[in-house]
Structure 1
């Protein structure tokens, strides 16, 4: 999942009234079941890590969907179906507990690529290792998102194993393309059967592992949208330069598609190297509200700026701005980022070629009220206006930003569960990262949708990705505590969800 830990610009909730927390009936029985199933749940996570689905490489796309389907049936869903799309298939499942209210769940079963040589243990082994935080599973997908999702499934197994009915009904949708920008996720949710079931939900959440080293966690009220694309310059499409790599000595008489791409890229941002310069880019940018600014400002007061800089390996914010200004920018500014540049020879030493093709991998982060469609249209118009209509724009995925009302039942029930657990919480107006929540918050569903969970982990998209299993710090949840937190949350939601969303 495309997340950015939002505690750096979050604030403690002060204005929302939360009713008294619900009690989980016979909680000891469920907790005992979770504890007794610890080894089985751990193996379930390790076995799932061993089954990677990598959409970018079309690895295990059908097998991954079927594995996801079987995991859901095993956890107690009465039905789980494969939903075909024009890309990687999704999964739709329902669990009817005969309850008054229904909760929507979003899962992703795909993971990022990995280079085994960069890992300290095999990325598909799911090895249990010692870390300063405690025992942790290391593997691709451990924290993003199979670990948190397995914790939620462990909560469902506790209900199943004890013969207990859930206090809410569940409707779940899972996709296998989140890591490439969810290009076909809308097709899954637009399926008539899926949409009809989802319309019954009071909201949708994706399980997460959001606790900080202090034990506090963050509820993110929104997320930036994202568009992933490639800009490609080639002699073939340009009509100038070579159609294949040629000897670099010919650059004296032959145009370079690589330099043309560099020149096109240089028009996308201003002289400062980061402010988007696409015409009309800020036309639909919605300013932060006073409430959102208040949350960010209060969060900055509670955050160690030096520690944040250390985590990200930076010494300066853009323009040497102060911490508050930088965090306001983080939440409010759309961006155009170069993920990678690829052209010609990149191996050891030199090869003295003039490449016939160059590619830039780009992501554009969007804020309300921007849309994916408008952003792509503006990019193409900008390139054409500046004489670069030959640059191919290949959009591989993406979606618009999302926002959820802090007074929704979904948010109020989550905060009540955190209070009941004694966990310090924070509200973030918006994650700088992205997830396809707009598929739920936008029409026709118009549901609240957020990420939510306790526990911790790290290394998403990086080598040695990990999720905590047994915690040394009593303030940070391990696997079993995280599973029980989801149990308690379902009862909290059931007690609160009386009329409306």
Structure 2
């Protein structure tokens, strides 16, 4: 991700800085620190045992933040070379209570830019305010059709085919620590949407319910002072986080049909990228192996998260290679991924490396 706003960094974003027991830099937590954790674990296993108990393959690509547009074709083309028994994915780390966390799934995403042009150039609002179409208003009205104030997404067929969480999923969610107060404190929130207060229902909403989010709006004049302008162009970036049973291309088609039916055929929909949801069975033998490795490395019980709210291309490996995937690594809730002062805790890096090494050693048991 870009490092801006630069003025909010306490040290240069592209220079690794050690401070207060942490390492700061753009990408140190998302996700260069995880890559270095794997490499350090390999060094440790080789130094102690002299060899590896299994073959180890790395797939490293630099397009994850732009939906990994070339990854699926690469994996399909090289499926024979990439065959494996299991996969350790990026991310994971410790919870806000300091317990090891392992993630078993990611939501999908459909990311679009909606844009409107009503004239060839901006106009004086006194000249055109009563007789020219305003691109900003057209966009606001179009956006208003996507979701109501109860958070229900109004696109016809949007919720079709969704697979609800299983009883096992709800059992895992119920076992997670309640981080509602931590979230409110960290983000300065007065409360949560839909009257949620915490507990298992808040966790369910966070990962097993799809979303529609306006990520940014651009139109007209937004500089210092005033400028009475009637905008000719307006755009918004919107993401839809998707859950099992949904597909980004299907949602894209339904979005376009919805805008057309609502009278907004002039709103252009530009597809910026997407990922399908993907997840691993929590009772898979590899999940159990990584849990035991974490207990040995951290000396505590493990927090198993069946799904997280973010997205990524794990579905490519799940669908093509049919491998179980567990995310385990060096992150923590204060890591500031995608934000200024991104960081990892050095002690977490050491323990995460030990965990990875134990997973490698235990692969002979799988």
* Bin for the TM-score computed over the shorter chain: over 0.9
The reply on whether 1:486 has 2:363 as its aligned counterpart is no
SS in 2 for 1:433: strand
Match of 2:157 among 267, 280, 301: 280
**Aligned residue in 2 for 1:413:** 289
Distance apart, 1:161 and its partner CA: 5.9
Distance apart, 1:137 and its partner CA: 1.3
* Unaligned segments of structure 2, at least 5 residues: none
The reply on whether 1:319 has 2:194 as its aligned counterpart is yes
Q: Residues 284 and 370 of structure 1 are in contact (CA less than 8 Å); yes or no, is this contact kept in structure 2?
A: yes
Length, aligned pairs only? 362
Q: Residues 3 and 13 of structure 2 are in contact (CA less than 8 Å); yes or no, is this contact kept in structure 1?
A: no
Distance 1:153 1:491, change over 3 A: same
Distance apart, 1:118 and its partner CA: 2.1
Distance apart, 1:483 and its partner CA: 2.1
Q: Residues 217 and 454 of structure 1 are in contact (CA less than 8 Å); yes or no, is this contact kept in structure 2?
A: no
Q: Residues 234 and 358 of structure 1 are in contact (CA less than 8 Å); yes or no, is this contact kept in structure 2?
A: yes
Distance 1:319 1:420 in 2: 40
The reply on whether 1:248 has 2:125 as its aligned counterpart is yes
The reply on whether 1:370 has 2:246 as its aligned counterpart is yes
Distance 2:35 2:117 in 1: 43
| Greater relative contact order (Cα < 8 A, sep 6+) | 2
SS in 1 for 2:224: coil
Distance 2:351 2:321 in 1: 32
The reply on whether 1:404 has 2:277 as its aligned counterpart is no
Q: Residues 227 and 398 of structure 1 are in contact (CA less than 8 Å); yes or no, is this contact kept in structure 2?
A: yes
Distance 1:454 1:204, change over 3 A: same
**Aligned residue in 2 for 1:66:** none
Alignment of 1:138-153 (within 5 A): 138-153=24-39
Distance apart, 1:224 and its partner CA: 0.7
Distance 1:351 1:388, change over 3 A: same
Q: Residues 28 and 344 of structure 2 are in contact (CA less than 8 Å); yes or no, is this contact kept in structure 1?
A: yes
**Aligned residue in 1 for 2:7:** 117
User: Runs (4+) of structure 1 moved beyond 6 Å?
Assistant: none
- The one-character-per-residue Cα deviations of 1:5-26 (angstroms, maximum 9, x if unpaired) are xxxxxxxxxxxxxxxxxxxxxx
* Unaligned segments of structure 1, at least 5 residues: 1-110, 236-241, 472-476
Distance apart, 1:198 and its partner CA: 1.8
Match of 2:18 among 115, 123, 128: 128
Distance 1:162 1:448, change over 3 A: closer
The reply on whether 1:232 has 2:102 as its aligned counterpart is no
SS in 2 for 1:252: coil
SS in 1 for 2:56: strand
**Aligned residue in 2 for 1:439:** 316
Match of 1:195 among 79, 83, 89: 79
Distance 1:270 1:245 in 2: 30
- For the aligned residues, what is the CA RMSD? 1.9
The reply on whether 1:294 has 2:294 as its aligned counterpart is no
The reply on whether 1:468 has 2:345 as its aligned counterpart is yes
Normalised TM-score (structure 1): 0.69
